[in-house]
Structure 1
Amino acid sequence: MSTEQQQALDAILRQSAFPVDSDVGELRRLLRELTSAQPLPAEVTVKSSALGGVPVAEITVDGVEPRYVVVYFHGGVYVLGDAVSAAGLAAQVGRRTSATVFSVDYRLAPEHPYPAAVDDALAVYEALLGEGVAPSDIVFAGESAGGGLAVATLVNARDHGLPLPAAAFVMSPYVDLTLAGATVDTRRAADPLLSRELLEPRITDYTAGQDAALGLISPVFADLSGLPPLIIQVGSNEVLLDDAVRLARQAAVADVEVTLDVTPGVPHVFQAYGPLLNEATAALDRAGQFLAARLTGAQRVAG
């Protein structure tokens, strides 16, 4: 553990936290400022493309020979973010899995509420299958709302009768838009980024009158049976800790192979802070090993 690193990161995040009374336009402006100040590593290449009519950022890492595909879903409580801003973290997953990453630029609320993001995510996966990519060569990954969308897309693909990918990796998944998890309140002081006050106004942006407890909106309430292996990572210092814990429980009850990986003392999507936090790199290494084992394992079974 690196207590000094954790404390330094916590201070930085509290200083740059979004004001709770900001509207969507202001939040997007602040996020653009934040992400534009963090250039991509020189070895990461991003190319604009489209799959199934949905814009994607195709991300490759120099020196990595792509054998597999990661479908990546960015975070941003369904109203913020874009495929390119997630490229740094997405590339870390691609590097560890010898994969090309397709980061999905799904439509955002409130302009495009549910089910726009869910429809876009499924369209990208269907397009990859239609191009002949084997499902056993694909994994899903996502952070925050993107983690929730990754799980929702697994459920949606299953319900559409599609073959499922080899595995999925979700970081600090936002899977309960009813905010029923106890840690939404009990971890409020510990979390430097998120709070009930920040999340609540954005929920109606996305749900637009639909029930927030619907399985494809809040997959912690979905039937998870038949899903591929999941690795769920979360920090103990975040209000969404209970989302991850309850998702893992629901998966286990549904007989899904699931690994719940909780890192003490770290914040929401801590994997994004590799240069500042040793735990970030270590967690990504564990996730990479999990995904790589399922990808190569699927190859052995297929062979």
Structure 2
Amino acid sequence: MPSPESIAVKQYLKAFVASQPAGLDLEASRKGLEMLSSLTPVAPDIKVEKTTVEGIPAEWIAAPNAVESRVFLYLHGGAYILGSCNTHRSIAAKISRSTASKVLLPEYRLAPENPFPAAIEDAVQAYRWLISSGYKPEQMIIGGDSAGGGLTLSTLLSLKEAGDVLPALTVLLSPWTDLEGTGESMETRAEADPWLKPEASRATPVLYIGKLDRRHPLVSPIYADLKGLPPMLVHVGNDEILLSDSVRLVDHASAAGVEVSFKVWDDMWHVFQTFEIPEAKQAIDEIGEFVNQKLSVNA
């Protein structure tokens, strides 16, 4: 059974979405996500340090238990058109604590001002900057939520193609892996999803990729060759239209020989981990267990 807190948040999200203007108002959407994120403040013991990564604004976010040599490169969600350090500082802080990692949260360039492949270029740059700064791939994790999850995969694929040593692990929360929107959950979960709508999810990609083929492997990683990617943890909600994006990714990755840990969370919605509910705490704790178990072996 879902917790009372999650039921209340789901009702709030439905009301919030219903209050938004019809059609895509980019400025209003960006402000709306900032407002939602302000409801989940960062704990007072978290250290936040602003920095730049080869000209890219970013933040270092570290819980008191963060191991100096362990870094989690976190790529925020927002359909490639929304999101910032402000919107994802809180979840980055929770992940820092659970994984005992310093988190680097870059503000990669957003579309439509900076369309594909700007976000990938910035994410690749951020990873290489970490390597050049002395961090070891075997103590690094890369991950993200929603579009940030898709961007994580595109970054790994780009690094693999270029011959870079890949990080040890990847963590994907409700990853957006099919920008064409062909998954069956786009219809079967449309009523249950309190946040995302199929029409908007299918209309938004044009702002990021223009006329580029939506099945391009760096756009929709379910069409990519995933062989050789690091072990991955994938979490997704059972009540979200992007459920099929995760299911198909996991099937594809497993078939390619990638080690995958996969969990579908009953009664949960898109990137529920960002909210102050018991299920989110459990999910964040499980991310920590995954990372700490794997990296303690590799240390």
TM-score by length of 1: 0.94
State the distance in 1 between where 2:227 and 2:113 align. Answer: 32
Q: How does 1:31-42 map to 2 (within 5 A)?
A: 31-42=33-44
Secondary structure in structure 2 of the residue aligned to 1:170: strand
Deviates more, 1:62-71 or 1:22-31: 62-71
Determine if contact 1:46/1:60 at 8 Å carries over to the other structure: yes
Aligned to 2:242: 240
**Paired positions, count:** 297
Aligned to 1:297: 297
Residue identity in the other structure for 1:237: D
Quote the RMSD (CA, aligned, Å).
Answer: 1.4
Superposed displacement of residue 183, structure 1: 0.4
Give yes or no for the alignment of 1:84 onto 2:100: no
Secondary structure in structure 2 of the residue aligned to 1:231: strand
Determine if contact 1:52/1:126 at 8 Å carries over to the other structure: no
State the distance in 2 between where 1:97 and 1:35 align. Answer: 21
Q: Could you report, residue by residue, the CA deviation over 1:37-61 in whole angstroms, capped at 9, with x for unpaired residues?
A: 4432212222211223322111112
Aligned to 2:116: 114
Q: How does 1:250-265 map to 2 (within 5 A)?
A: 250-265=252-267
Give yes or no for the alignment of 1:25 onto 2:24: no
Aligned to 1:14: 14
State the distance in 2 between where 1:237 and 1:228 align. Answer: 28
Superposed displacement of residue 23, structure 1: 1.7
Residue identity in the other structure for 2:280: A
Determine if contact 1:84/1:103 at 8 Å carries over to the other structure: no
Aligned to 1:98: 100
State the distance in 1 between where 2:11 and 2:253 align. Answer: 35
Deviates more, 1:290-299 or 1:261-270: 290-299
Structure 2: 5+ residue stretches without partners: none
State the distance in 2 between where 1:3 and 1:82 align. Answer: 29
State the distance in 1 between where 2:179 and 2:280 align. Answer: 26
State the distance in 1 between where 2:8 and 2:181 align. Answer: 28
Superposed displacement of residue 87, structure 1: 1.0
Residue identity in the other structure for 1:6: S
Secondary structure in structure 2 of the residue aligned to 1:86: helix
Aligned to 2:2: 2
Residue identity in the other structure for 2:82: L
Q: Could you report, residue by residue, the CA deviation over 1:59-116 in whole angstroms, capped at 9, with x for unpaired residues?
A: 1123544340000011100000112320110111111121110012100000001000
State the distance in 2 between where 1:98 and 1:40 align. Answer: 16
Query: In structure 2, do the counterparts of structure 1 residues 30 and 84 end up closer, same or farther at CA, with 3 Å as the change threshold?
Result: closer
Secondary structure in structure 2 of the residue aligned to 1:125: helix
Superposed displacement of residue 207, structure 1: 0.6
Residue identity in the other structure for 1:120: D
State the distance in 1 between where 2:268 and 2:60 align. Answer: 29
Deviates more, 1:75-84 or 1:107-116: 75-84
State the distance in 1 between where 2:204 and 2:50 align. Answer: 28
TM-score by length of 2: 0.95
Determine if contact 1:143/1:269 at 8 Å carries over to the other structure: yes
Query: In structure 2, do the counterparts of structure 1 residues 134 and 45 end up closer, same or farther at CA, with 3 Å as the change threshold?
Result: same
Aligned to 1:171: 173
Secondary structure in structure 1 of the residue aligned to 2:85: coil
Structure 1: 5+ residue stretches without partners: none
Match of 1:56 among 52, 55, 58: 58
Aligned to 1:181: 183
Match of 2:231 among 226, 229, 232: 229
Residue identity in the other structure for 2:186: V
Q: Could you report, residue by residue, the CA deviation over 1:198-243 in whole angstroms, capped at 9, with x for unpaired residues?
A: 2233110001221111111111111100000000000100000000
Superposed displacement of residue 297, structure 1: 1.7
Percent identity (aligned): 36
Aligned to 2:278: 278
Deviates more, 1:50-59 or 1:105-114: 50-59
